[in-house]
Structure 1
Amino acid sequence: MPPDVQELFDWLVDGAPGATNPVAVLERFCPDLVTAGIPVERIAAFVQTLHPHIMGRAFRWKPGAPIQVNEASHAILRTPAFENSPVGRVLANAQPFRCRIALEGPGELSVIQELAEQGMTDYVVLPMRFMNGSTHAITFATASPDGFSDDHIDALVQVCRPLSRVAEILALSRTAVNLLDTYVGRNAGDRILKGHILRGDTELIRCVIWFSDLRGFTSMADRTEPGAMIRTLNELFECQVPFIQKHGGEVLKFIGDGLLAIFPIFGEDPKPACQAALTAADEAFAALAQLNEARAARGEPALQFGLAQHVGDVTYGNIGGANRLDFTCIGPAINLAARIEALASKLGKRQLLSAELAAHAARPVVSLGEHELKGVSAKQTVYEPG
């Protein structure tokens, strides 16, 4: 192995110190190969991940240009174009692929045709095998008239072994972030990764509470096939979650047909968080109206959800058994929001506000008077947006 390649090899074996993400790794890896005398003109790494929407990411390098990062959806795996591509083949069979473009011609594969048009003469795809058994890929292309020599190929194979370990570590870290963001929420996931993992590790925070549920869920579930019911719930939550997150809210959990979220209050003034929560509600109900138009066109019944919004202090953190914890919120304010949501159903209102939230609403509100709520000692005045 040439000395410069050995130096790169050793850096990767040491864990690529100083490079904390894939782009930083490739920003050294790619130019160092050129410096070592390997005539690479194009390098692309393809790393799969665990994510509900994203199949993986592609990192593309060429001399003198920033590394391009693209994400691919799961749907791409099912396309004939991907399945028949060199990368698709390598991901499927974990075997290297090579096309000596100058000698063999570009053939029928579009990616090789594009490389030929760019003056590339040789193209190699190597599998990157992770310890969990998954296969990823990295590609190399050259414009050298003679293509890659046997020594070049051997050096690439050797240096990609420690690169695979570094890529796996970075991929696992990203997967952890993806899964925590997906299943516990971004803020909670960030706290967990920063070490807030002990049972009872909690803090008191002030926030706007969002508590909603689907109207008529029990009767709908009784007469709806389970798969269709799941699709219905997904449609319902899709009307809420993007807008909660868009306006700074954190979805904490789905409780059957219900949803619990919070909008943290930063500083002393609750008005910004209240306005964010109210705007998110406006957009959620607008999305619901669009959904119901689509459902009507499909001959399906309209959906309605009730929503309660309240301002209060909650205990936020790790709660549960010794070996099974949940990162969530508890407290009287959560209970009050749940009771107000139940009252919304009783009153036939889609959205109710507590007095605490109404006091900070930057819009007209209408009082619906005082009401007794189950488990709440004092009567509560509730409001609806004007």
Structure 2
Amino acid sequence: MFITYTHVDDIKAPAKKRQVHLYQNRRRKEIKAASTALSKNHAAKPGEADAVSWPSHKFPMALQADLLFEGIILLMWSSFPPSLKQSSHAERDQVFMGIRGAVMSKLHARLSVPQLCSDDFNRGLDDNVEIHCEGLRQMVKLRGGLAANDVQPQTKYSITACVHLIHHNETVMTGLTGEGSAEMMVDLAILRRGLSPKMNMTPNNKIVYPAHPFSPELCKTIATLPKGFEDMALKQVLSVQVIDLLHRLTRTIERGPAEFPKDTSIAVEMMRLSMEPEANIVEKGVILLTFVFARFLSDKATKGSSSPQSMRTDDAIKEPVGRWARFAFGIQKEVDSDFIAWTTFVLWLACEDYGYSEKEQDELVDRLARTQPTMKNKDRLSSVVTKYFFHQSLEQDLDMFWKSLMTKS
């Protein structure tokens, strides 16, 4: 399913390179004329004065659609031998996570290079766009159609070709398909290329740990982190990638407790770094715990709403959460004792969500009470927990956690 890309500058034959540029220029003129006419037609209709102009849109590649991404993984799984398919549920989960990580790294490497000639050139010459659209249509159809599925807007657009907003913010599906769909996809692909930076971007997957003296930019980033993570960064426990991830998550939580699911790129980067073999055990714990915290905070803020929660995500991290709950007190020599206290609080919050019993929650609290009796002081506990990620909406949960500590001898 992956498209083989060729950079324009890598085309050695002058005649071929000229052919590519001529084709792209011709397509831009054709699509610009069609887009302008379409925009005028929409604006001329009563009640649609605020219709979105097509040239203002960027086109995300169809490979980024959740359903198609899932289809790639299932297609890869189907090629595995029968002996592996009959493995246990835990083994299958591990294999799926490995496949997902491999696919994600390949997508990241390919999609981070914007100036690629076949992105537009091949899409205009062959049926790549329509193949992607047809795959999405079939997957949605198997799941009961658009009405029965809460699919992402890009998937709806890829299936129906045209989406525009009218003045009262209702989404109207015009239902164009076939050649119109392919033409519109090519149109937006060309427009997206026009907005791409001229210099190539290459993925930076190598884990890099900061060294003194820190750069001014890194110092500014570290200064935005919660005090506990700032101290860990200054001690060079965290890599530059994890520091940047914590910075982004800090800004997201500051905007509101329910903001975390809206920026899916943070969760994707968390998943990638958590599977990075060069990352140390402390970093992987930080990534897991911050994800669990942000997810709990978001779920608490949206409790009672109709927003769907991913059970697959819960299942995927259930085992790592349990493993970290058993392992956390074993790294006290590598991290500050305050981090262990915050870790216990986060795991205590999340135990119920990930299928752990009250007994296991109680064991976590008991271990903290035995190893750090000073945490029974409420002011001390509050000052420690708030050094890391915390939100005022969790004050009641913190009070319950403190009361649980007080019951321990």
TM range (shorter): under 0.3
Give 1 or 2: higher helix fraction: 2
Greater RCO structure (CA 8 Å; 6+ sep): 2
Length-normalised TM-score, structure 1: 0.25
Length-normalised TM-score, structure 2: 0.24
